[in-house]
Amino acid sequence: MTESSGDCAPSGTHYGPWVWSAYRAYHELLREKVKKRFEAQEGPWMDRVADLLVQIVNARWEGGRKKEKEEEELFAKLDQLLAE
């Protein structure tokens, strides 16, 4: 195999795609580890925030059937969680 064959042969300048793949794998692994740490430390709080966001979206989706006061109460709960 020669350098001009266009393959990823082990010859100096053709390492680029392999090195790029290694960097990408490294960053993907680091991202997964960070996600696990966030899940362990912040997961319960994020679950509460997610629950409130779903309630807010549902209240807005239902529109006229929900009173504005209920929506305001949900936003107040969200503000309180975000302040923690």
Cα–Cα distance, 76 to 82 (Å, whole number): 10
DSSP 5: G
Average pLDDT over residues 73-77: 86
**Main-chain dihedrals φ then ψ at residue 11, nearest 5 degrees:** -145, 80
Q: What percent of the chain has pLDDT over 90?
A: 43
Q: How many other CB atoms are found less than 10 A from the CB of residue 70?
A: 14
Cα–Cα distance, 58 to 61 (Å, whole number): 5
Q: How many other CB atoms are found less than 10 A from the CB of residue 18?
A: 11
Specify the pLDDT at position 13. Answer: 67
pTM of the entire predicted model = 0.56
